[in-house]
Amino acid sequence: MAAKAKPSGAAGVRALPVAELRNRLASGAVSAVDLAEDCIARIEAREHEVQAWAWFDAEYVRQQARAMDAYRISGRPVGALHGLPVGIKDIIDVRGMPTGNGFEPDTGRKPGRDSFVVERLKAAGAIIMGKTVTTELAFMHPSQTRNPRNPDHTPGGSSAGSAAAIADGMVPLAIGTQTGGSLIRPASFCGVTGFKPTFGSIPRRGVLPQSPSLDTLGVFAADPTGAAILAEVLYGHDGEDADTAPAPHPRLYDIAGSAPPLKPVFAFAQVPGWETADQDTRDAFAELADALGEGGFHIELPPLFNDALAARQRIHFAEMARCYHHYWRDAKDHLSDEVRAAIEEGNSVLARDYLSALDLKTVLNAGLEEIFERCDAIICPAAVGPAPQGLGSTGDPVFNGLWTFCGTPAVTVPLLAASNGLPMGVQLIGPHGNDGRLLRTARWLFEWADQ
């Protein structure tokens, strides 16, 4: 069952756990410049093979690091992410920094305003490390990024660069997005932690919209605690994102780091698409269930859940056709076959079918509430198997789309190994709004697997 792969080339200060690194930066035991130089050296040594970065400027990183050290030395209070480098997926706006959306016609585009999440990062003292590679318009056409665990295998998508940069030890934290499985799947393939919050937790202003009913910002880190530290800074309300709402700020890190009052209970679910899981996945989850013993039980989702994947795709493609209409109109010849086919399908969706698909979400969440009364988290694979060989596909998101559709928080942790040695993620799903408790459960499982 063991696979907890550490970041490739994990050495030096950048390999420290994020919580420890944050404390050392705040106290001055580690300087922002030293950490930045360590990350820069790793990127310069490995980028030619991994190709995780769409835009990276070492001198820009150094300028930020020097400013962070000068700020700390001045005696002023430091932010929650002081001096921590963060990779930004290349569909997320950073003022003055090229943001190309993984699409050739958008190459060189420079936003005049930071996205909400980048504003939060800068206010917290984070170092904007650069833009990580995304697939074309954050959809299914593969990017140039390779999997650091084995460069002959896909890193997944669409947040390929963010997952690969964490897995290769280039940066301790990164941001991605998920509309189907674009956070959880690449995290699983690359052997890192990926966290998708409850829908509407992190505002999306300044992020390329693809399907507003589904688009969700999330984070990558080596472990659940690191994910909690980054995500907590990003939560909030923004009047320009109608799916966010005023709420008390979450204490994700405190909750994630606390001891569960009772040993967590897990509900093992054979989710729609289970028949596509490979033998390694089936065997590994059977072994995990046996190891957890009375801490887990098996459930069958109601038959209506079998309609979820088709409903999610109907919503996704219909909204994608609307959001990407200007690309369809002005740059159709530049679109990949994957993007073009999705837009064409979206153009054919009837209003009644689209609205019916939206209604299904409410029904499914009512069913999930009953399950969550009996467990701390639903547990299922993050992908049908390890990262597929070859770079012609980003993998199958079948085990992710249901949770994106329902808007529940989900996190994957790298606990399992396939017969070929590649990592496989264990995906945990929690009830709406209980993101901190889900991260606590994930941390418990992550540490339990080490015992």
Which residues are known to be catalytic? 89, 158, 182
Strand partners for 379? 268, 428
For residues 254 and 293, give the distance between their C-alpha atoms in angstroms, rounded to a whole number: 28
Write out the two tokens for 451.
Answer: 């015992």
CA atoms within 13 A on the CB side of 229: 28
Residues 423 and 414: beta-carbon distance below 8 Å: yes
Which among 191, 210, 96 is positioned nearest to 148, based on CA atoms?
A: 191
Q: How many residues would you count in the chain?
A: 451
- Backbone phi, then psi, for 267, in 5-degree steps? -105, 110
Position 162: which residue type?
Answer: S
Residues 404 and 339: beta-carbon distance below 8 Å: no
Helix or strand holding residue 3 (H, E): none
Helix or strand holding residue 270 (H, E): none
Residues 272 and 305: beta-carbon distance below 8 Å: yes
